[in-house]
A and B are shown apart, each in its own frame.
Chain A
């Protein structure tokens, strides 16, 4: 067992956990934040995506004890039912989901992904490594490839992300 203190969605949390507890299980089973989903538990689907210190990560492939002092944002921290985050609103408007299981991960991933584009981080499909990447459909597809959607709502997901991206970038 280890003690770990972290900030989740702006709230300080002190936990005592078995060292084996993944960040995903800490969020779901200990903090009862069940918005973040477990799909594969091995880094292959992206359903567990959360934002840690501003970066999107797979919470299934990290240990809670390795996040001492970190600030974590989950889908619950992005917006509220009364005041949706623009990405959440765009997913609703564009119908960017069917069953919704992958959606929290998609939205957290998309929010942090737009910041990566703003920061000029290149992707596999960026044509020129020395210029600032543009938010084309190809770029969104490539950058969101770590989030699998079993319902294949991809085209609407891309539409939602483009809409938010156009406003921001």
Chain B
């Protein structure tokens, strides 16, 4: 690990000022991703700004009937919140499908959104990887690509975004609230928060240098049956091969987002009109532009089947 200086901050303004003072700085929250990457010298901040002292660990109702989730709310606490369990079940389910009990006790809402890909070439500093070193090439495209993305890919990168929580937030139309180093605030719809790789795969999100996430807001409850269906190589404590976040109403209308298939949570609103027709039609629409490799082409069928399973579970929940 490279040496770094360390500072604790108490207010978002202090955090912003610290970020402005130290160009090589990074915020640190639950540290479950950043510290891992620092040990491997994939992340090399020269200064760490500990944001755990910011009072951003509350979940509060918003004026329009939604919830405002502080950036520092732990994944365990968010999954366990009574309102989230009752009104945003897909979010509670997605959170408890991720990582382990220990990790969820540490991981925060903001950190979870900003976790980096688990592409093994990204993690192995002996391998080429455009996300780690832009221009070095992509080890995965002609390598082991079983876990990788099938839609929204580029010639530079086929990595997936590993977060389960983000897939649920996408289906719930969450908004990410931030404050910049100059004190200016932004509300970023989750749909626009994560990027596709294009020719700049080293940039995961639209967050700017030194910009601090303060909260994630949820609109008023979407109702319906809410399902998070995750398929992985072992029953627990593994990242998704494919996951489906689903909200379906009694009349068969609804929303769906996919995890494990793209560089961001994958949702195509127009595909949702196909929901009453069933999984095959929706999956075909969602994956119309898919460009899988030989090794991950199975994900196309797996998406359809996982969606079918999620729809069946939703039907069961509505009986």
Is B85 touching A109 in the complex (CB atoms < 8 A)? no
Residues on A with beta carbons closer than 8 Å to the beta carbon of B39: 41-42
Most chain A C-beta atoms within 10 Å of own C-beta, residue among B28, B36, B48, B102: B102
Map CB proximity to A onto B66-93 as digits: 1 under 8 Å, 0 otherwise: 0000000000100110000110010011
Distance in Å: Cβ of B118 to nearest Cβ of chain A: 11
Q: Which of B27-79 contact A (CB under 8 A)?
A: 28, 31-32, 35-36, 39, 48, 50, 52, 76, 79
Selected interface stretch from B1-9, B190-198, B212-220, B294-302: B1-9
Map CB proximity to A onto B96-125 as digits: 1 under 8 Å, 0 otherwise: 110111110110000000000000000000
Interchain CA distance A57-B30 in the complex, whole Å: 10
Is A145 touching B79 in the complex (CB atoms < 8 A)? no
Nearest to B29 among chain A residues (CB) is A66
Residues on B with beta carbons closer than 8 Å to the beta carbon of A41: 39
A-side interface mostly: loop
Map CB proximity to B onto A115-131 as digits: 1 under 8 Å, 0 otherwise: 01001111110100110
A2 interface contact, C-beta 8 A: yes
Is A123 touching B6 in the complex (CB atoms < 8 A)? no
Interchain CA distance A124-B76 in the complex, whole Å: 11
Q: Could you count the A-B residue pairs with CB atoms below 8 Å apart for me: how many are there?
A: 100
Residues on A with beta carbons closer than 8 Å to the beta carbon of B85: 122, 129-130
Residues on A with beta carbons closer than 8 Å to the beta carbon of B100: 43, 46, 145-147
Q: A20-B1, A62-B31 are contacts. A43–B236 as well, Cβ < 8 Å?
A: no
Map CB proximity to B onto A39-68 as digits: 1 under 8 Å, 0 otherwise: 001110010010000011110011101101
Map CB proximity to B onto A15-27 as digits: 1 under 8 Å, 0 otherwise: 0001110100000
Residues on B with beta carbons closer than 8 Å to the beta carbon of A123: 96, 101
Is A56 touching B105 in the complex (CB atoms < 8 A)? yes
Q: From the candidates B3, B28, B79, B99, name the one contacting A122 in the complex (CB within 8 A).
A: B79
Q: Which of A106-143 contact B (CB under 8 A)?
A: 109, 113, 116, 119-124, 126, 129-130, 141-143
11 new A-B contacts, CB < 8 A, other than A42-B36, A66-B50, A123-B96, are A20-B1, A20-B4, A42-B39, A58-B32, A63-B6, A63-B28, A121-B79, A124-B93, A126-B96, A143-B101, A146-B237
Report 9 cross-chain contacts, Cβ distance below 8 Å, ordered by A residue.
A22-B35, A41-B39, A56-B102, A62-B35, A121-B80, A124-B93, A143-B101, A146-B99, A146-B100
